[in-house]
Amino acid sequence: MRAKKIFFTAREVIIMVIFTVYLFSYITFSTMTNKNSTEYLLADQHLMMYYVDQLFFLVGLIIFFVTWEKLKNDGFMNILLRASAMLFLALAAIMMFYPSSFAFLYLAPLANIQIGFIAGAFNFYISMALFGVKNLGKLVACGAAMSYLLQYITQILSDNRLLILLFIFAGAGIIAILVKRSWEWVLADCIPIYENGRNDKALRKMNIDSLRTAIIMAVLTIFLLTYYDSMLIRLMVESDLEFTAYSWPRLFAIVGYLIIGFVADYKEGRFVNITLFALILWLVLSPVIFMDNPMSNLNMCIFYVVVGATMSYLYVMFWSIAPLSSHPALVAGTGRVIDCAAGVVFSFLPWAKMSTMQILILSVVVITILFINLVYSGDFVIGKKSDFIEYEQISIKQHDLDDAAGEDNKAESNIAKQEPKEIELINLSRAFSESGGDSSDGAQDIALRQRDDESDVNVVKSKGEDDTLVRIVKKYGLTARETEVLEQLLFTEKSGQEIADTLYISRRVLQRHVSAIYEKTGVKSRVGLFRVYHDEKDN
């Protein structure tokens, strides 16, 4: 009996490595700027910089979104990302080995802008690359678990700065080797953006409803977390790190990531909202425990479980929504935007001056609003990947490919250079598309004449495979160019960029054709196309 597959494909493992390296870099740098700065900054400066650094991280996220929206140039974006990564690593190294008040006051904000810019890219690219993946939650959970374990070993147990830097550079090297073209690989092979989403009223309404529910959940959860987070930072500063948040309870964040990660993948994630809500209820205990024992490890464990669950929720939910939104680059990073912005805004509340009863009442009010939000959202719209399948099943208008005509014309000279077998297949698919792609006798006659005239019309090796492709072309009404793209997707291992180069078209034009193919065949990934092909072959 064959064991059921519960883990990841090779491509998913690569993306998990990318996520792990990013998260490890972020949490170790964030810990360093907060923990190590106590020796060089005054108490008030330390508290101020804790929130200033978050604001500059937010600035980096916004810069990425604006840059992506305005430039629309993948090549230049790749240059910016690599430059930002190198600058971040240089600044982090200086702060690690030459710490000073100047470094934590001026270099740290600059470095946070760079890591924020990189975070925006990670959120966007990975959300697109993993759209529709059934084990997205487990992938996020496993990546986070490895990141936190690595941080605990290298930074909390040993505080070995050279080892931390070594891990970061080694991770970057591994990514470069695995991915080859780095960001180009992630972006080229992702699900194309549905550009018509902003114009389709049904799609737009569904997406806005999903986004609204996720934002409310995120904002109110972070509001409840801010109380203990603010008190924790104050305790660290006032005790001069005699009490620290960077100890073994921090590992309980992994538990939160795992809970939400596995629930998000179970039953299409329909229980993920209620699970996060149940975990949030534990935060009601936080002010009670804090009143009796401010330095309680139990309180810190509860806090980190909810922190891990919240961060996992922010990644999984907004990554799932982003590919179907009008502005995927913004939506993919919205979770991190809320985390930074809301955390800073809510920190201005006079938490230290509030009584335990006041905080409890405030918590109950917020939890009540969360409950109403869940009831209003119906059967937990956000976590259900079936909603996204419904997105795909709604009648999506055909993409406007007129602006790609120039690119298609350039490819005509390339067609003339192809093998006769390829030309025959292209002509065959063009005949099908001109006939409307239906099952009329005329279309059948065209197919029969082509098969009779040339028995080995083929871009692959066997006649059976050719018949399968012919049936797919006819069944789904693919155009000539879509057939060329389909051939490359099915019968080669080329990346998106390599396919675009082969067909003499830009990557964005390729994405439009791939999107049209997915739309017509009803699949959401290249793997889905293989299933369509083999199902048709078995018929």
The per-residue pLDDT for range 419-458, each reduced to its tens digit, is: 444 434 434 344 333 333 343 344 444 343 444 333 333 4
How sure is the predictor about 275, in pLDDT bands with cuts at 50, 70 and 90? very high
Q: Which is more confidently placed, 308 or 97?
A: 308
pLDDT at 63: 94
E strands, 173-316, where? none
Q: What's the pTM?
A: 0.69
Who's near 96: CB < 8 A, 6+ residues apart?
32, 161, 164, 165
Mean pLDDT of the region 148-157: 90
pLDDT at 328: 84
Q: How far apart are CA 286 and CA 237, in angstroms?
A: 20
Q: Let me know: does 116 contact 64? Beta carbons within 8 Å.
A: yes
Q: Let me know: does 38 contact 151? Beta carbons within 8 Å.
A: no
Q: How far apart are CA 449 and CA 428, in angstroms?
A: 10
Phi-psi region of 522 (alpha: psi -120 to 50; beta: other; left: phi over 0): left
pLDDT score of 189 more than 80: no
Q: Which is more confidently placed, 398 or 84?
A: 84
pLDDT at 14: 82
Domains and CATH numbers, the chain: 10-393 (1.20.1250.20), 402-538 (no CATH)
Instruction: Tell me how crowded residue 537 is: count the other CB atoms within 10 A of its CB.
Output: 14
Q: pLDDT, tens digit, for every residue of 511-533?
A: 788 888 888 888 777 777 877 88
pLDDT at 175: 66
Instruction: Tell me how crowded residue 482 is: count the other CB atoms within 10 A of its CB.
Output: 22
How sure is the predictor about 464, in pLDDT bands with cuts at 50, 70 and 90? very low
pLDDT score of 216 more than 80: yes
